[in-house]
A and B are shown apart, each in its own frame.
Chain A
Amino acid sequence: MPHTSGLVNNNPFAMFAPHPVGVTFEGQEAGEEIILLLRQHVITLVPAFIITIFFMLIPFIVSSILLVVGINLSDLLTSAQIFLITVFWYLFVFGYAFYRLLFWYFNVYLLTNERIVDFDFRGILHKEISYAGLGQIEDVSPKMIGFFGTFFNFGNVFIQTAGAKNEFEFEKVAKPDDVAQEISEQVRAEQGEAPGVVA
């Protein structure tokens, strides 16, 4: 019995989503079903969140420092200019936060009943999609390292395959043991099927 059978996930921001509702992917075959959708653990967004909060506070910090050293910005710039600079700064902060959220949201790992898929969007001009059939998977090993990994139950899952890209790495995913178990069960199910059957 597959580990995630019977579970359905409606949360569009889920980091561990068994049978996600309303999600498809480019190149999905007829009858191919997404068993598991994974994103990096949400805790990996904490540094970006802290940086965003810090950026949001910078205008207050800068104006306080300038006041302390005896420079009054309103003497140097008009209120319209100060307003435009503030709008510009918060646009930049929004851009940073949106960029980080997007790349977290769209960097997904999929396990289907036929293959594993790794959507890799690194940086603004880098898109890489890797596929490996379940029949090509030779070895799956979950790895949890460090305090945060152990405490929040996330880590990497290394998948050794016989394909052109011989190693897949699901990075910083939640419940790596469950992911590895689910992949192994799907591989066993695939091995029991007749060649070419999509089920």
Chain B
Amino acid sequence: MPFESFLAFDFLNISAIFVFKAFLLLFLIFYSVFALILFRQVQLMAKAIPTFISPFLKFVAIIHVGVAVALLFVIIQLF
């Protein structure tokens, strides 16, 4: 079987891009949940030990969640 045909999953009538997109989306969903839990953990840690860079770390953590969720939607739309 030629490599291009194998990549195209011709034997299953499924596009390789579709499979790749599905994996990417699944991973991004898990990653977004991870980012959200990390943000919550940063909130808890910053509450336990407030330092003057804690607000900055919380800001970075929320941006991280935002980028993960935004990327999820961009991949759904554009991939």
Contact = CB atoms under 8 A, between A and B. Distances in A.
B51 A98 contact: no
Contact of A81 (B50, B71, B79): B79
Interface in A91-150: 91-92, 94-95, 98-99, 102, 105-106, 108, 119, 121, 124-125, 127, 129
Contacts of B71: 84, 87-88, 91
A99 B38 contact: yes
Contacts of A20: 51
Interface in A48-92: 71, 76-77, 80-81, 84-85, 87-88, 91-92
Contacts of B28: 88
A152 to B, nearest CB: 24
A76 B38 contact: no
Nearest to B46: A106
B64 A124 contact: no
Given A80-B78, A84-B74, A25 B49 contact: yes
A89 to B, nearest CB: 10
Contacts of B50: 23-25
18 contacts: A23-B51, A24-B49, A81-B78, A84-B75, A88-B24, A91-B68, A95-B34, A95-B35, A98-B38, A102-B45, A102-B57, A121-B41, A121-B45, A125-B37, A125-B41, A127-B44, A127-B48, A129-B48
A195 interface: no
Nearest to A71: B3
B67 interface: yes
A192 B30 CA distance: 55
Interface string A1-29: 00000000000100000001011111000
B7 interface: yes
* Size category, B interface: 20 to 34
Contacts of A95: 31, 34-35, 38, 64, 68
B26 interface: no
A26 B44 CA distance: 10
Given A25-B49, A124-B34, 11 more contacts: A12-B51, A23-B50, A25-B48, A77-B17, A81-B17, A81-B79, A99-B38, A102-B61, A106-B48, A124-B38, A127-B44
B61 to A, nearest CB: 8
Contacts of B34: 95, 124
B11 interface: no
A84 B78 contact: yes
